[in-house]
Amino acid sequence: MIFAAMDWHAFFFWMFALLTCGFALAVLFSNNVVHMAFYLILSLGASAGLFFLAGAEFVGAMQLMIYVGGTLVLVIFGVMLTAQSRFVSMETRSGEWVVALGVGGSLLFMLMITAFNVEDWRSPNPRQGEVTVAETQVVSQIGLGFAGVRVDKLDQPDGQLRGGMSGYLLPFVIVSIHLLVVLIGAAYMARTKRRKDVSGGRS
Amino acid sequence: MFVDAETIRLLWPEIILIAMASWIYIAGAFQPHRVWWTCFSLAVYGVVAYVLLGTESTMWSAETALVGISGPLRIDFLGFILRCFAVLVGILFTLIGARGSSRQLTSEFLATVMLLVAGLMLVARANDMVLLFVSLEMISIPTYVLLYLGRRDRANSEATIKYFFLSILSSGLFLYGLSFLYGIAGTTTLVGMMGQESVQAAAAGFVQEGGELYQAMAPIALVLLMAGLGFKIAAVPFHFYAPDVYQGCSNANAGLLAVAPKIAGVVAILRLLVVAMPWAADIGWQLAIVLAVLTMTIGNVCALWQTNLRRLMAYSSIAHAGYMLIGISVAFAFHEGTSASGGIGATLFYLLVYACASLGTFAVLVALGSKESEVSGLNELAGLAGQRPALAAALAVFMFSLAGIPPLAGFWGKLTLFSSAVNTATATADNASFAAWFTLLAVAGALNAAIAAAYYLRVVAKMYFRPAQGDLPANGGLGAQAAVVVCVVLVLGLGLFPRIAVQVTHLAEAAVAPVDPGSLSAAAAPLPRLAGDVQGSDDASWDR
Amino acid sequence: MIEALVKIAILLGGLMTAAAYFVLLERRMAAWIQDRVGPNRVGIPLTKIRVLGLGQPLADGVKFITKEEYTPAHVDKRLYVLAPIVILVAALATFAVIPFGSMIPATVFGYRLAEKPIELVVAPGANVGMIYVFALSSIAVYGVILGGWASNNKYSFLGALRSSAQLIAYELPLGLGLLGVVLASGSMDLGVIIGSQASSGIWFAIAQPLGFCVFVVAAFAEAARLPFDLPECEQELVGGYHTEYSGIKLLLFLVAEFLHMIAASFLIVILFLGGWHFWGLTGGSAEIDGWGLAWSGAPWLQGLLRIVVLMTKITLVIVGFMIIRWSWPRFRFDQLMALAWKVMLPLGLINFVAVAMMQQLQAVFTGAMGPSWLMVPIAWGVAVAAWLGITWAAPMIADNRPRRELDPWEIDSQI
């Protein structure tokens, strides 16, 4: 059976990885802003595939929903609304290329160093069959974590140590304050600038 | 397991601020009266200060720097003094900025400042990566809104957008660094990070199995986190936004930018990089030294030929970030086995001194302007001493303090910083490279102080020795003048009686660094009540 | 792997056929409502036999494929080609987590098909099922936006802009309507949601009428069907985002639209109308037990019956979609937005809070979560009260005049 014989996990990994990197490069080498945004969508979508493959279904679905389905819709929306003909095509000057290559290259270099410095990562895991992908039934656990209950720490024997593991209720609440401020700011930026004086005497 | 009542009780000041800010947002729509809302928010800050001092000053005594953990919060003296300072900053901004904002937007301005102060207070307390990050964002996001509310013209919009994008980039770098950190430590709590067995293995010389993971990842985590926080404190090479943004926005907002992100950034560096990542200190001190020398030098040299006041102050704030990095590098080096300490204390002291003087400078600029026209050119100050002697004198005090001229606060700040570097150099005379590096650092700092004096004194000379060119409106309002008075008192007080403040900051340093992982299980215990131990007078004295 | 491939093949074939025949059904329904005859000529090819026009979809398909595939010169070629593909892929991928039946037994005539009973869903046990559906439904908007932009045509672009605003606005009530269901059933897995309704016998449409209303209206808007078809309204925008498309690419857009409608009906049926469950007919447990009969064919019969029940419900909902399409006028854009933000969003929030409180009360007093008959009258009371309250509080949605007549302020760009 050809389907059974193939290493599907590896196949999908390479496929998603290549798609992610390829479209990321396409973002880089494209001159049209809308094309760039579109390639970014594809790149992020493929990285969501990588998350699914690693068993992190929740993260993958969130990647799709928040980045691909939420943020980038707004990006494309904004780009299309504001992109006049002279802004649609962005020519990158050679100086900018040099700077970008310097910054990006050094980051890549550091990441490579990091990756290759870890002994375990240099060769394939000898016990590959025993590796279990992440536990996938986690949605309610994550939800409870946001509500302040770390289900995974309930069996912590030391009662005093549990105090420091009190989930993420505070950050969760603080994020709602962020959203309040963002809404206030957005409302001021977008408010209708109008005045009662219909006759136009004061203008 | 849940966030318990203890944690909530410890957060009362923040909860009051946030609730009142929401109330101002809502009620401000119906009652757009500027003076009323300014008084209201000052009253809120008063209540917050009372709650803060009332509930917490009883916990500390001059000798015992209690360390406790409650949920994602860390209770120590550093957090306490920074929270007090955050309230003070909030009061000063309320005074400075209320008049500058347009009538309809006063309530929004005040409420947003309140949320920003709450963010600062949370940063001072955070013991959790996630909480630290969202608290830092709680400073950044209100800042965007404040910058936008400040003025509505092209330059301001450009400055706001520039700050917005770069700040988001820095947050991204910071988060990326946090993800590596989480990968190393396997926990999000900062204290837990020190306590994790795996991380202890990393600290113990990477001998155990899997140890190389930490060794490999520590540099990139450190560099990314440093980059993210470097934006916040405007350290080279992440400083380039500062001059443009300061120049573009209003004087009050420039003051905000010069102070709030800097406090938060320095605290986050101390808490996250210096204290929680002792195993990365060997790269940390080298990185901090290089950044410190570069930042000081570039900031000071570029400031020399600035003619726009806000631009000048921007470069000055960059330079001061460099000085603070000296203390941070000393603190890093402490983990590397030098016997001398004092880095964290010196940095904190310098931070307080810088913030007072810098805020005071911007308060003077606001007081000199009016709603229609703002002071921005250096030449506009010419002959100020004749027209507005009091404000000119105050500005001169701030300039002298920033330049580090005795007996003002800035002098003591620089002295503690440089002496901590020299101490590190001399205490490790057996390690030649260590000694050489820190001696070099101290020399570079001293040279830079000399350069800096040139442009600060240029401002003073302009005010006192040049003929007046025109009349400044000097219609910035009572609030700004009050803020100037407060800042002058602080700068003079810290200058004349530096001992108390230096002691307080060293106490904070002692509290912040329980490096011994063995003490952690004790640290994680619920907060003991020290109600009988009321000796809060010392700690609160600098606040008056 | 083979099991999944077979399921995918069945699903794809079924969906494509269904989409084709729903087009025919829609045309016949339209004709019926407008008192016409509709397409009834095309029968078996190469013969003269007409079977109620059942050959029409085939003829349509051949027509679309053989037509000249004209690409206008002024379009952005890359995105113009990619847009219909994106929309179709997103529409199809949604069905990966949507069950199209309950399950079928592992053995047939003594031959073992699989280790355990086969669940009729491509990705069984997807813990994040609903999140995934939401994620993909928001990806579908890219097809519309990019198609509209790439066409380089004002009408198309307007359609794209309307579409993105509409989809973003209605995603919130959609999510709020869903949250009540997730709260009551305790899972995002669509299979578990059906199981919770089947075991208690209370469909969520009965237990949460308000959530049902909100979800159905939002689902209509997400599927961009009339009365919410502003992105493509023929009268104003000449077809909206697919004005410039022809041939097979147009076909892809139209198929994707039908797939959206089918997906919406699947979700309505699964979340609110009990999925494969029908009282006294299909049994209440999620496993197929063959009603406890000893006969070896009983599990098979039960499994097939569940599929039939599900499909019947879906067909009925789709017919409902079509009747509404041909009997309702289109909203104006400001009415559309007002409906989303001022009516559906508050109603969804009320439903969510009410469900949360009811669940908590139930847990306190009876110690059990999930739907229960006790809560049904309360839920209907809440629904009626909320509906009356919204009607009283937002008269603007009933007022048909444009806003500038109600509120004569002048717009001044200088402030």
For residue A163, tell me if it sits in a domain.
yes
From chain A, pick out residues whose CB is under 8 angstroms from the CB of B134.
171, 174-175, 178
- Contacts (Cβ under 8 Å, ≥6 apart) of A2: none
Using CA atoms, how far residue A108 sits from A111, B219, B220, B222, C84, in Å, is 5, 13, 11, 15, 36
List, in sequence order, every residue forming a beta bridge with B69; answer none if it has no partner. Answer: B74
Q: Return the residue in A77, A179, A188, A203 with the most chain C beta carbons within 10 A, the one to mutate for interface testing.
A: A77
- Residue C407: closest CA among chain A residues belongs to which residue? A196
pLDDT by position in tens, chain A (length 203): 555 566 777 888 899 999 999 999 998 888 888 888 888 888 998 998 888 888 777 888 888 888 887 788 878 777 777 766 656 677 778 888 898 889 889 888 888 888 887 766 777 766 666 666 656 566 777 777 777 776 666 665 555 555 545 677 888 888 999 998 888 888 877 765 555 544 444 43
Same domain, yes or no, for C168 and C183? yes
Query: Residue B434: CB partners within 8 Å, gap ≥ 6?
Result: B333, B336, B338, B424, B425, B428
Partners of C322 in the β-ladder: none
Shared domain check, A154 and A84: no
> By a Cβ cutoff of 8 Å, what residues of chain C touch chain A?
1-2, 5, 76, 78-79, 82, 126-128, 131-132, 134-139, 141-142, 145-146, 149, 157, 160-161, 164, 168, 186-188, 408-415
Same domain for A79 and A155? no
Of A117, A158, A177, which is closest to B212 when you measure between CB atoms? Answer: A117
Domain range for residue A19?
A: 1-90
Residues C29 and C77 in one domain: no
Instruction: For chains A and B, count residue pairs whose Cβ atoms are closer than 8 Å.
Output: 122
Q: Smallest CA–CA separation between A104 and chain B, in Å? A: 13
Q: Are C164 and A77 inside 8 Å of each other by CB?
A: yes
Q: Does residue C332 belong to any structural domain of this protein? A: yes
Contact B149 A188 (CB under 8 A): yes
The values of phi and psi at residue B10, to 5°, are: -70, -20
Cβ distance A181 to B71 less than 8 Å, yes or no, reads no
Chains near B, with 3+ CB pairs < 8 A?
A
Residues A85 and A147 in one domain: no
Final residue in a domain of this structure, among A90, A110, A127: A90
> Do C98 and C53 fall into the same domain?
no
Cα dihedral across residues B70, B76, B82, B84: positive or negative: positive
- Contact status of B25 with chain A (Cβ, < 8 Å): yes
Chain C's closest residue to A203, CA to CA, is: C412
B229-261, pLDDT tens digit by residue?
998 888 888 888 888 888 888 888 888 888 999
Q: Which of C34, C63, C92 is where one domain is finished?
A: C63
- List the CATH number of the domain containing A16: 1.20.120.1200
Min distance A186 CA to chain C CA atoms (Å): 16
| Partner residue facing C79 (CB), from A38, A61, A70 | A38
Total structural domains in chain C?
A: 2
Answer yes or no: do C73 and C57 share one domain: no
DSSP secondary structure string, B222-275? Answer: HHHHHHHHHHHHT-TTS-THHHHHHHHS-HHHHHHHHHHHHHHHHHHIIIIIII
Distances (CA, A) of A124 to A23, A120, A121, A127, A145: 27, 8, 7, 9, 34
Residue A157 counted as domain residue: yes
Distance from CA of A90 to the nearest CA of C (A): 16
Q: Both C151 and C254 in a single domain? A: yes
Q: Do A184 and B525 touch (CB under 8 A)?
A: no
Q: Write out pLDDT tens, residues C276-305.
A: 888 777 777 777 776 777 777 777 788 888
What is the span of the domain harbouring residue C51?
Answer: 1-63
- 8 Å CB contact of C409 and A70: no
- Min Cα separation C218/chain A (Å): 17
A143 and A80 in a single domain? The answer is no
Across B321-337, average pLDDT: 83
Q: Which residue has the tokens 């299980």?
A: B521
Is C5's CB within 8 Å of A3's CB?
yes
pLDDT of residue C375 exceeding 60: yes
Nearest chain A residue to C125 by CA: give it: A137
Query: How far is the alpha carbon of A4 from chain B, nearest alpha carbon, in Å?
Result: 34
Beta strand ranges found along C21-158 (DSSP E): 103-104, 107-108, 111-112, 118-119
Q: What pLDDT, on the 0 to 100 scale, is given for residue B207?
A: 40
Is the pLDDT score of C323 beyond 50?
A: yes
Question: Partners for C (CB, 8 Å, 3+ pairs)?
Answer: A
Contact assessment for residue B505 and residue B345, using Cβ atoms and an 8 Å cutoff: yes
C-alpha distance from C24 to closest chain A C-alpha (Å): 32
Whether chain A has a CB inside 8 Å of the CB on B167: the answer is no
Task: Give contacts of A175 with chain B, Cβ < 8 Å.
Answer: 134
What mean pLDDT, rounded, does chain B reach?
Answer: 79
**C1 shares its domain with C150:** no
Q: How many domains does chain A have?
A: 2
Looking at residue A193, its pLDDT comes to 55
Asked if the structure places residue C409 within a domain, the reply is: no
What are the chain A neighbours of B210 within 8 Å (beta carbons)?
A: 120
- Whether C411 is in a domain gets the answer no
For residues B269-281, give the mean pLDDT. 79
Residue of C94, C128, C138, C153 to mutate when probing chain A, most A C-beta within 10 A: C128
* pLDDT score recorded for residue C317: 92
- The per-residue pLDDT for A83 is 64
> Domain check: are C224 and C312 in the same one?
yes
Does residue A124 fall inside a structural domain? no
- What is the pLDDT at residue B196? 54
Q: Which of A27, A58, A90 is the last residue of a domain?
A: A90
**Chain C residues touching A200 at Cβ < 8 A:** 410
Residues A81 and A2 reside in one and the same domain: yes
Nearest Cα of chain A lies from the Cα of B434 at a distance, in angstroms, of 25
Min Cα–Cα distance to chain C from A83, Å: 11
Question: Which residue, among B333, B389, B324, B313, has the nearest Cα to B351 in the 3D structure?
Answer: B324
Name, of C81-85, C112-116, C131-135, the range with top average pLDDT.
C81-85
Give per-residue pLDDT as tens, C218-228: 988 888 777 78
Give the pLDDT confidence of B36-75 residue by residue, as tens digits: 888 888 999 999 998 888 876 666 554 454 556 666 777 7
Same domain, C98 and C211: yes
Task: Select the residue of A70, A77, A138 nearest C138 (Cβ to Cβ).
Answer: A70
Q: What is the dihedral of CA C311, C313, C319, C321, to 10 degrees?
A: -110
* Interchain contact, B148 vs A189, CB within 8 Å: yes
Are B449 and B403 within 8 A, CB to CB?
Answer: yes
What percentage of chain B carries pLDDT values higher than 70? Answer: 82
Residue B368 reports pLDDT greater than 80? yes
Query: Does the distance separating the beta carbons of A69 and C139 come in below 8 Å?
Result: yes
Across-strand partners of C186?
Answer: none
Q: Which residues of B touch A165 (CB under 8 A)?
A: 1, 189
Looking at A90, A123, A148, which one is the last position of a domain? A90
User: Does the beta-carbon distance from B212 to A180 stay under 8 Å?
Assistant: no
In a domain, A179, yes or no: yes
B506 φ/ψ angles, rounded to the nearest 5 degrees: -70, -30
> C116 and C49 in one domain?
no
- Say whether pLDDT at B367 is over 80: yes
Tell me, what's the pLDDT at B114? 92
Mean pLDDT of B283-310: 88
Same domain, A58 and A1: yes
Question: How many Cβ atoms sit within 10 Å of the Cβ of residue A70?
Answer: 17
Burial class (CB in 10 A: 0-12, 13-18, 19+), C164: buried
Put simply, the answer to whether A120 touches B210 (Cβ < 8 Å) is yes
| A190 to chain C: closest CA residue | C413
The band of C39, judged by pLDDT with boundaries at 50, 70 and 90, is confident
pLDDT at res. B88? 92
Residue C408 inside a domain? The answer is no
Nearest to C412 among A4, A138, A193 (CB): A193
Contact between B217 and B180 (Cβ < 8 Å)? yes
- Identify the residue whose tokens are 């936004």: B241
Interface contact A182-B2, CB threshold 8 A: no
Instruction: Chain A: list its partners (3+ Cβ pairs within 8 Å).
Output: B, C
Residues C334 and C294 in one domain: yes
Per DSSP bridges, beta strands C118-119 and B68-70 are: unpaired
Q: Give B 79-118 residues with CB within 8 A of chain A.
A: 105, 108, 112, 115, 118
Shared domain for A76 and A152, answered yes or no, is no
Say if residue C185 is in the same domain as residue C147: yes
Secondary structure tally for chain C: helices H, strands E: 15, 5
Which pLDDT tens digit goes with each residue over B418-475?
Answer: 888 888 877 765 667 777 888 888 888 889 888 888 888 888 888 888 887 777 777 7
In a domain, C229, yes or no: yes
Domain-embedded: residue C75? yes
> Given CB atoms, is A58 within the 8 Å cutoff of chain C?
yes
Position with higher pLDDT, B394 vs A190: B394
Per-residue pLDDT tens over the stretch A60-94? 888 888 888 778 887 877 777 776 665 667 777 88
**SS3 state of residue B382:** coil
Residue B523's pLDDT is 38
Any idea what DSSP says for residue A121? G
pLDDT of residue B209: 46
- The pLDDT of residue B150 is 67
Instruction: Note whether C183 and C249 are same-domain residues.
Output: yes
Q: Considering the entire predicted model, what is its pTM?
A: 0.83
- Could you tell me if residue C414 is inside a domain? no
pLDDT at residue C389, rounded to an integer: 87
Among C63, C92, C114, the domain-final residue is C63
Residues 193-212 of chain B with CB under 8 A from chain A are: 210, 212
Whether residue C410 is contained in a domain is answered as no
For helices C129-150 and C77-93, angle between their N-to-C axes, nearest 10 degrees? 160
- Does A111 map to a domain? no
